[in-house]
Copies of this chain bind each other. A is one copy, B any other.
Amino acid sequence: MTSKHLSLNNIKIDDPFWNGVCELVRTEVIPYQYEALHDRVEGAEKSYCIENFRKAGAVTAALRRGETVPVYPVDKWQYTDDNCDENAFHGWVFQDSDAYKWLEAVGYSLMNHPDAALERKAKEVVATICAAQLENGYLDTLYIINDRSRIFTNLRDFHELYCFGHLVEGAISFFRATGDRRLLDAACRFADLICETFGEGKKRGYGGHEIAEMALVKLYEETGEKRYLDLAAFFVNERGQRPYYFDAEHGVTSKGEAYHYNQAHRPVRQQNEAVGHAVRGVYLYSGMADVARYTEDNELYQSCQKLWDNIENKKLYITGGIGATVDGEAFSFNYDLPNDLAYSETCASIGLIFFARRMAELNATARFGDVAERALYNTVLSGMGEDGKSFFYVNPLEVNPEASHKDSRKFHIKPVRQKWFACACCPPNLARLISSLGEYAFAENEDTFFIHQYLGARVNTRFGEVRVQSDYIENGTVTVSAENPVNLALRIPSWCSNFTISAPYKVKDGYAYVESVTTVSVQFDCEPKLVRCSNRVRANVGKAAVTMGPLVYCAESVDNGDNLQMLILDRDTEFERDGEYLIVDGWRETPQDSLYFHDTEIQKIPCKIKLHPYYRWGNRGENEMQVYLRVQ
């Protein structure tokens, strides 16, 4: 059964768990990022983001005046004072997207929480961006500043279509929040240029980093202009076709091995396994699901389903993380989910939530919301420190700080969150997701209101106001009350073995359907559990993790002493709650100082093991962390 999420304008979040997080994003992350975009954060690497738009604006103005403008090389991923002219573009090739992601988050935030000062700042940023746009609608500061003649000549590497996608998403959010059309108009002009440039009988290219696909569908939804949907479908369908566009673009003939990274190794309808850069992957799959929906393309939907199955069943960390290898920040092979070498990028889990929402709206089956929930409450939340100013890009399931410092294989595994840095993809992505959570929670169709995620909120539905009161994380209770009798579809979380619903219901595909109610109370029993991982995953044999509701727990050495690998969980443990902690029974092995010895029994003494929600780990200085513990 299909549904469609409601626009954020119709949703007012009020949730005991999420209020604090949303407020942190509003009061810390968004202002901090504004400063970062303007290179005003002391001690942080420079972003150059706004500076690039200003430089590009000067170029655009000069071109308008008919002046000659210098040319600089476009030949690398990152431009620094060390490798380029001071007047050239600076930062990463995708640096523009930081401003767009920030504006997207600001738009969502303003919808929930009007803030005239913030809106004023955002409008200044918008003005700076719009001033950079070329007459023909082109808008990417790397090429505007450095070399206009090379526009659209390296789609594989240089992120023009990626920045375009974020422009569209930012513009729509900003328009919906403020009614200010300037950025949306700029996005449409750029989109029109792209429509003129790419398609059947034109350039047969597509972006090296996907996102334009889903952004164009959103622009179609916003404007009703079918050409945007058509272009999204073209990008999706052209991807991976032979001869490879990326080959032609770079004057080579390849077998496409290298294009696994970009999911462009074969046509998307022939892709059954999630491969390559994980963020790119889930952005593509999200766009595929969007196109499948609006073009009623069942074959494409089936491809989405196969890719989903592969991720959910073979490539997903228990924390909702994806991308098991740092090499290419990529999916590894099936069942390869190392804990201590994980990449599990925050952005990738955010993208997985995008994909999950689209799949859930195409087919209300609980597994999609389950995975989104896993990702949201664990990897995504883990991405942000309690201060709102420090971030994990990588979300491992096991950390030994000594290894992070001394072992080059684990240099990507940071034992504490980092400050904003130049390649700051994750913080603004986090901000835009958290600020728009409502869009991931609620949906509707002609006759039913869907709760895919349990957030306390007031929602203006087509059936009148629906109010959700939620203590979902604390104790699993949710109450829904509606202005008018409404049909409800309530996702039954996969972690819940027992639940009660205070009205008659039927279960289908993991959703409880309740007909025509004005109030219903739900109790999901969220007792703690030991969770096992398939023994096809080599890293986790003989181990278990602890979860309670959607939260995955972990041991930190600040609570349990060093050498977490010496802890063993008792499979018959009682669980005790102590504030945010779970206390479980187990043993601690006596340290064995001989490297090799013949005794067959290791001494161990009973102990209590203190577990902390995974998303809160690493907020108390550098220490060991493990999600999985041995179990006996």
CB-based contact A541/B630 at 8 Å: yes
Listed residue (A534, A535, A565) with the most chain B CB atoms within 10 angstroms of its CB: A535
A333 to B403 Cα, complex, angstroms: 8
Residues of B within 8 A of A530 (CB): 598, 600
Least Cβ distance of A163 to chain B in Å?
29
A580 to B408 Cα, complex, angstroms: 39
Interface membership of A529, Cβ < 8 A: yes
CB-based contact A407/B325 at 8 Å: yes
Residues of B within 8 A of A599 (CB): 532
A566 to B408 Cα, complex, angstroms: 30
CB-based contact B598/A531 at 8 Å: yes
- Count A-side interface residues using an 8 Å CB cutoff: 56
Interface membership of A498, Cβ < 8 A: no
Whether A592 touches B341, Cβ cut-off 8 Å, given contacts A332-B407, A598-B530, A630-B542, is no
Listed residue (A529, A592, A601) with the most chain B CB atoms within 10 angstroms of its CB: A592
Residues of B within 8 A of A333 (CB): 402-403, 406-407
What is the oligomeric copy number? 2
CB-based contact A593/B407 at 8 Å: no
CB-based contact B600/A631 at 8 Å: yes
CB-based contact B630/A529 at 8 Å: no
Residues of B within 8 A of A402 (CB): 333
Residues of B within 8 A of A533 (CB): 595-596
Residues of B within 8 A of A602 (CB): 532, 535
Interface membership of A68, Cβ < 8 A: no
Least Cβ distance of A303 to chain B in Å?
21
Interface membership of A589, Cβ < 8 A: yes
Contact with B along A586-597 (1 / 0, CB 8 A): 000101111111
Residues of B within 8 A of A601 (CB): 571
Residues of B within 8 A of A538 (CB): 340, 400, 565
Contact with B along A328-369 (1 / 0, CB 8 A): 000011001000110000000000000000000000000000
Residues of chain A having any CB pair with chain B under 8 Å: 312-314, 316, 318, 325-327, 332-333, 336, 340-341, 400, 402-403, 406-409, 495, 497, 529-538, 541-542, 544, 563, 565-566, 568, 571-572, 589, 591-602, 630-631
Kindly list 11 other residue pairs between chains A and B, CB separation below 8 angstroms, not including A533-B595, A541-B630. Answer: A313-B595, A314-B595, A336-B403, A336-B407, A530-B600, A531-B597, A532-B598, A533-B596, A535-B602, A544-B600, A571-B601
Report 12 cross-chain contacts, Cβ distance below 8 Å, ordered by A residue: A325-B409, A327-B407, A336-B406, A336-B407, A532-B599, A532-B600, A535-B589, A535-B591, A536-B591, A537-B595, A538-B565, A541-B566
Minimum-distance CB pairs A-B, first 4: A327-B408, A333-B406, A538-B565, A534-B592
